[in-house]
Amino acid sequence: MKNYLDNLPKDIDKLINLASRVARKQGVRAYLVGGVVRDLILGVDNFDLDIVIEGDGLAFGSELARKVTGRLVTHPRFGTATLMISNKIKLDIATCRSEIYQEPGSLPLVSAGALQDDLARRDFTINTLAIDLMPDRFGSLIDFYHGKRDLKLKFVRILHNLSFIDDPTRILRAVRFEQRLGFRIEPHTLRLLKESAKANMLRCVSPHRLRDEIILMLREPEVIRCILRMKQLVGFNFIHPHIKLDRSNLDYLRAVKREINWFYNNFPKGRELDVWLMYFVGIVSNLNANQVDRICKRFGFRKGEIKRIISYYKFSRQKVKCISKKDISPSQIYRILEPLSFETILLIKAKYKNRFLDSHIKNFFEYYNGARVYISGRDLTQIGLRPSPDFRKILTRLLYLQLDGKINSRQEALEWISRFC
Ligand code: ATP
């Protein structure tokens, strides 16, 4: 019998063995399931582990959490728990169940069941594979729905004809897995997907569930291929009927991708970007600020996300003109760019191709952003000034002078204060 858990990375191997021992001690059966098994067979790293317990998943989770350093979050209503082992390794624990759908797109009702039933409610055959963690069959593959065959055939295949009706978000998931894995949506599945798309099934899904799947798609490495495939199969009516995705939008999306790569290559220690948000702007870029604002609210994006998205639309022509000039001082660049998020700045860089604008933005990321003033509020009180809102103004003024090279040391900053304040 082949052991599919032979070559796990060390920390995962330890965790899985521990999980197996805890399950045995509690007299429940444990299985590794879903994406991680798929990726194990494909030889792709995946540190999002899913374990299904035939028995009490919550008790299993609590016991396992006592034996590892990690944070456990439980969801008793669903019989699930998440154990965060590190910022890399996450373990989701589920209690075996089968589900009944009330109406298309709604959340399923949960009832007790066994592993096979649990796997039957999954999206695609390639996600139904499980590996037994019980000592007598440790590492053996369980393949009720021919997942291994479809991994070989490179097919994304649904489990039954009503799958897209039960849950139309699977339309987006099918495209996502197809593009990520370099697979094809199996022909019958493709026919059903197209029928569901034509029947506007995505409109039956709650906006929040749609949002979650859209975000997952826009985080994929092959995001532009996903978007193109969506355009071909489904369109983006379900986001807004006026989304065009014509040549110029697609060029813009590609430019956005280039800017993201440019940022990560040039500032590898810089902050992590919310790339999904940038691609989202790319998709809706032919709409106006009001239309986009309404979409964002419908999907329930967070306030900060909406702000970053909308500030792209609100960036005035006049500011574009100003920041595209050759002779603009560093402090002027700072004043224009500092209120914006990195995502918005890069969206602007992608939109307005201009070599001065490019170089000003590079300088902003490299030098101006995060520049510190030589002196602090404490220095101001020490030289006898009374704390007041003016402190902020003075320090900001000093920062501008520093950026423009007019003040180059703490001493010069103190002298400037004594002269002007
Ligand atoms: P990824 O590598 O993107 O994390 P994954 O396969 O782990 O992929 P998740 O979105 O984390 O996917 O979901 C975990 C598992 O839950 C999947 O393998 C899939 O079987 C199941 N699943 C998730 N969403 C659905 C859905 N809408 N319908 C059916 N099954 C789903």
Q: Check if 176 has its Cβ closer than 6 Å to any atom of ligand 1.
A: no
Cα(75)–Cα(135) distance, integer angstroms: 28
User: Contact, 13 vs 5, CB < 8 A?
Assistant: yes
Q: How far is the CA of 74 from the centre of ligand 1 (A)?
A: 19
Q: How confident is the model at residue 103 (pLDDT cuts 50, 70, 90)?
A: low
The predicted-structure confidence for 17-66, as pLDDT tens digits, reads as follows: 999 999 999 999 999 999 999 999 999 999 999 999 998 899 999 999 99
Q: Check if 351 has its Cβ closer than 6 Å to any atom of ligand 1.
A: no
**Percentage of residues of the chain with pLDDT beyond 70:** 96
Q: Which residues have C-beta within 8 Å of that of residue 218, sequence separation ≥ 6?
A: 226, 275, 276, 277, 279, 280
The token pair at 402 is 């520093």
The predicted-structure confidence for 64-90, as pLDDT tens digits, reads as follows: 999 998 899 999 988 899 999 888 899
Residue with tokens 């994304």: 156
Across 196-224, average pLDDT:
96
- Of 244 and 161, the structure prediction assigns the larger pLDDT to 161
The token pair at 39 is 């990726």
- Of 4 and 386, the structure prediction assigns the larger pLDDT to 4
Burial (CB < 10 A; 0-12, 13-18, 19+), residue 266, is exposed
Q: Hey, which residues does 48 pair with through a beta bridge? A: 90
> Which uninterrupted H or E stretch holds 207?
helix 207-218
Cα(33)–Cα(30) distance, integer angstroms: 9
For ligand 1, atom 12: residue with the closest CA: 35
Q: Is the pLDDT of residue 222 over 80?
A: yes
The pLDDT assigned to 104 comes to 60
User: Contact, 99 vs 121, CB < 8 A?
Assistant: yes
Give the single-character DSSP code of 126.
Answer: G
Angle between helices 275-283 and 223-233 (to 10 degrees): 30
User: Contact, 129 vs 33, CB < 8 A?
Assistant: yes
142-162 b/e (C-beta count within 10 Å ≥ 16 → b): bbebbbbebbeeebbbbbeee
Q: How far is the CA of 50 from the centre of ligand 1 (A)?
A: 10
105 conformational bin, left if phi > 0, alpha if psi -120 to 50, beta if neither: left
For ligand 1, atom 17: residue with the closest CA: 34
Q: Check if 34 has its Cβ closer than 6 Å to any atom of ligand 1.
A: yes
SS3 of residue 76 by DSSP = coil
For ligand 1, atom 6: residue with the closest CA: 35
Domains of the chain (ranges, CATH numbers)? 2-153 (3.30.460.10), 377-420 (no CATH)
SS3 of residue 330 by DSSP = helix
User: Contact, 334 vs 364, CB < 8 A?
Assistant: yes
Q: Which atom of ligand 1 is least distant from the CA of 128?
A: 20
Q: DSSP readout, 290-315? A: HHHHHHHHHHT--HHHHHHHHHHHH-
The CA-to-CA distance between both ends of the chain, in Å, stands at 82
Q: DSSP readout, 234-262? A: T-STTT-TT----HHHHHHHHHHHHHHHH
**Percentage of residues of the chain with pLDDT beyond 90:** 77
Q: Is the pLDDT of residue 270 over 90?
A: no
Q: How confident is the model at residue 111 (pLDDT cuts 50, 70, 90)?
A: very low
Q: How far is the CA of 108 from the centre of ligand 1 (A)?
A: 15
Q: How far is the CA of 197 from the centre of ligand 1 (A)?
A: 20
The token pair at 344 is 């918005």
The pLDDT assigned to 232 comes to 96
Q: Is the pLDDT of residue 390 over 90?
A: no
The pLDDT assigned to 112 comes to 41
Which range (71-85, 142-156, 163-177, 288-302) has the least confidence? Answer: 71-85
Q: Which atom of ligand 1 is least distant from the CA of 121?
A: 29
Pocket test for ligand 1, best of 45, 50, 88, 127 (most atoms within 8 A of CB): 127
Q: How confident is the model at residue 110 (pLDDT cuts 50, 70, 90)?
A: very low
Helix/strand number for the chain, H first, E second: 21, 11
The token pair at 162 is 């009503």
Across 90-113, average pLDDT:
65
Cα(35)–Cα(45) distance, integer angstroms: 10
Q: Is the pLDDT of residue 421 over 80?
A: no
Q: Is the pLDDT of residue 260 over 70?
A: yes
Q: Please give the model's pTM, rounded to 2 decimal places.
A: 0.89
Cα(175)–Cα(202) distance, integer angstroms: 14
Q: How confident is the model at residue 97 (pLDDT cuts 50, 70, 90)?
A: low
Pocket test for ligand 1, best of 36, 96, 173 (most atoms within 8 A of CB): 173
Q: Check if 48 has its Cβ closer than 6 Å to any atom of ligand 1.
A: yes
Cα(216)–Cα(276) distance, integer angstroms: 8
